[in-house]
Amino acid sequence: MLSDNQFVRFQRQICLEEIGEGGQKKLKDSTVLIIGCGGLGCAASLYLASAGIGKLVLVDDDLIEISNLHRQIAYLDSDQGVSKVDALSKRLSAINPQIDIRLVKKRMSEEQMQLETMMADIVLDCCDNMPSRQQINRVCHKQNKTLISASAIGWQGQFSVFDFSEISTVGGCFHCLFPFDNIESEKRCVDSGVMGPVVGILGNYQALAAIQKLSMNKVYFDSNQLHLFDGLNLRWQSFSRSKVNHCLVCGVTSNEVRG
């Protein structure tokens, strides 16, 4: 049941015929796990909190540095040295005090990630390193949860939805696309430039896909696609993803047992 205050707050969203009051109630009853509170996590969580997601779980072990501020738009100059999850929680609550926010101030073990994923309706991979991305993919696949993944570096971004809640997984998983824990390229990424609005665009795509998936009976996008964004020529390209039969996570020879 929506309160009068909630009805007024979300009226421009509720009057979208694909959402309606029923969709808004579904958002209110939803839990989203956001792993990583950098540029992607800031952008996605600002929109998800504003949209009325009932519960957000924010995961990050970092403190805010001055070099984060050009792209991690939830943080203020005065937040330097503060924990990212603390500052982000404060900002999201200021926008929408009615949402419930829980914080995890550390890198999760596999067991804790299993538990948090089990309690969430959707998982957003907003992290900045390949080993964590592979771990999130493994856990979401095992628990049949929808994983919304994005990354951005330089002027480029990529976005994919892995809907492990569907029986058909013709599009495979994150490991089918990137079958490695590439530490070397990760080190290069840390030193590389990145354009703030490109990160914001990708984070907003994550929020948009999550809102659709959580609130609507029908999803209008194809979740078996890899979307690439080029911030220099302002173009998106989309490619169909395919399951790799020998994938260690989702392939036919995988030892994984889905929950």
CA dihedral in degrees (142, 143, 147, 153; nearest 10)? -40
Residue of 201, 202, 222 whose CA lies nearest to 212: 222
Q: How far is CA 168 from CA 74, 146, 216, 250, in A?
A: 37, 13, 20, 12
* Among residues 130, 140, 207, 247, the one that binds Zn ion under rule CB under 5 A: 247
| Cα–Cα dist 202/41, whole Å | 10
Instruction: Decide if residue 58 touches Zn ion (CB under 5 A).
Output: no
What is the 8-class DSSP label of residue 63?
Answer: B
Say how far apart CA 74 and CA 49 lie, in whole Å: 12
Q: Which stretch binds Zn ion (CB under 5 A): 74-82, 108-116, 119-127, 245-253?
A: 245-253
Q: Which two tokens stand for residue 118?
A: 């089990």
Nearer to Zn ion, 91 or 175 (CB): 175
Q: Which is nearer to Zn ion, 75 or 164 (CB)?
A: 164
Among 27, 48, 123, 250, binds Zn ion (CB under 5 A): 250
Stretch that binds Zn ion, among 43-51, 117-125, 147-155, 246-254 (CB under 5 A): 246-254
Nearest to Zn ion of 133, 175 (CB atom): 175
Q: How far is CA 17 from CA 28, 183, 217, in A?
A: 17, 45, 12
- Based on the residue annotation, tell me whether 189 is a catalytic residue of this protein: yes
State the residue for tokens 């990050």. Answer: 60
Closest separation in Å from C-beta 248 to Zn ion: 7
DSSP one-letter code for 109: P
Cβ of residue 131: shortest distance to Zn ion, in angstroms? 16
The 164-203 contact track toward Zn ion, x by CB under 5 A, reads: --------xx-xx---------------------------
> Nearer Cβ to Zn ion, position 67 or 253?
253
Residue nearest to Zn ion (CB): 247
Decide: 198 and 229 in contact? Cβ < 8 Å: yes
Residue matched to tokens 């500052």: 87
* Closer residue to Zn ion (CB): 5 or 253: 253
- Exposure string (b/e) for 137-149, b if CB count within 10 Å is 16 or more? bbbbbbbebbbbb
Residue in 15, 173, 176, 189 annotated catalytic: 189
Return residues touching Zn ion (CB under 5 A): 172-173, 175-176, 247, 249-250
Q: Which are the catalytic amino acids?
A: 189
